[in-house]
Amino acid sequence: MPDDLSVSIIICTRNRADYLMQTLAALGKVGIRSDWKAEAIVVDNASTDDTATKARNAMLRNMTLRYVCEPNKGQSNARNAGLANARGDIILFTDDDVLVAEDWVEQMMSSLVNGQCEAVTGHFTLAPHLTRTWMSPMHKWWLASSPDAQPHNGARELIGGNMGFRRSVLERVPAFDPELGPGALGFADDTLFGWQLSEAGFEIGYAPKARAIHQLDVSRLRRNHWLGDARKRGQTEAYIRYHWEHTEIRSPRLTRLLYFIKLHLRRGLQRPPRLESEGCPLWEISYVLNMAMCRQFCLERQRPRNYLQRGLTKRSL
């Protein structure tokens, strides 16, 4: 790889100070070549715990650590604040509940500098103590566990906890959509950004040796959390369908009613586990997601579209 490379590693966080410290501890063990310039940027998205104190007092032996406060809630706002403060030619993202491998930066940099891609996603798996026998591939995918990172509909998706790109792509796709992601509709801020990169002609690669472990809070395995995620994913899908893809949902109110009836009939026949129990049936997730999508679509279609069809930037409305 060339000398004098510069890399910015952005970690967005909100009210997960203890998890963040573990992420930074792992990042502090990552190998950084002496001829590279490396920085880590913690973007605090309006935390109310002791994140600010802990992040400001933290130090990394292998790179500069900077603290940025983004008061506007929403992960996309935090990601965009990180981009605005980043100095590197290569920009990497990980999350505040992720542990990266010691060669993570080198593997990600190698793909972006020596490879034929302008963006990359790495090997991302669930922490072993969180895996369950009841988990289907879809359950694991929703937890951002993607050991093989297969392309979706012909285009590889970026995964926010283990992704990176060359700064130059920001000339075409300059920002994450603040209406998507945690703190907004719930998901797909990274997904839409990756789809826009593909639409712009950029190649998204896969770095199987750039390994990261997702050590999410165990509460995310409970049925009530799965149902909450299903609603958010439905809302997110409605937004993307209407604003970016310019596709329609036929008779969304009637369709929502049909899913509502199916859901309650199925619950009567196959009683699901308690809300506090771990796991959630796929049929229940599907019905709840589709109900939320139809409801949100009715709301979104009352607005002007935010993008030209499959557009790279938001329109000025």
Each residue's pLDDT tens digit, 161-201: 999 999 999 999 999 999 999 999 999 999 999 999 999 99
* pLDDT, greater one: 286 or 154: 286
Please provide residue 16's backbone torsions phi and psi, each rounded to the nearest 5 degrees: -135, 55
pLDDT average, residue stretch 82-86: 98
pLDDT average, residue stretch 132-140: 94
Please, what are the domains in the chain? 6-216 (3.90.550.10), 222-300 (no CATH)
What is this structure's pTM? 0.95
pLDDT average, residue stretch 139-161: 75
Please state, in angstroms and as integers, the Cα–Cα distance from residue 9 to each residue in 150, 171, 216, following that order: 24, 19, 20
Q: Please classify residue 301 by burial: count the beta carbons closer than 10 Å to its beta carbon, then call 0-12 exposed, 13-18 middle and 19+ buried.
A: middle
The first and second tokens of residue 5, run together, are 């490379």
Q: Please classify residue 201 by burial: count the beta carbons closer than 10 Å to its beta carbon, then call 0-12 exposed, 13-18 middle and 19+ buried.
A: exposed
Report pLDDT for 116: 79
110 Cβ partners below 8 Å, 6+ apart?
A: 1, 207
* Of 144-158, 178-192, 231-245, minimum mean pLDDT range: 144-158
Please provide residue 88's backbone torsions phi and psi, each rounded to the nearest 5 degrees: -80, 155
Report pLDDT for 152: 53
Q: Are 66 and 180 in contact (CB under 8 A)?
A: no
Please tell me the distance from the alpha carbon of residue 107 to that of residue 113, in angstroms, as a whole number.
10
Average pLDDT taken over every residue of the chain: 94
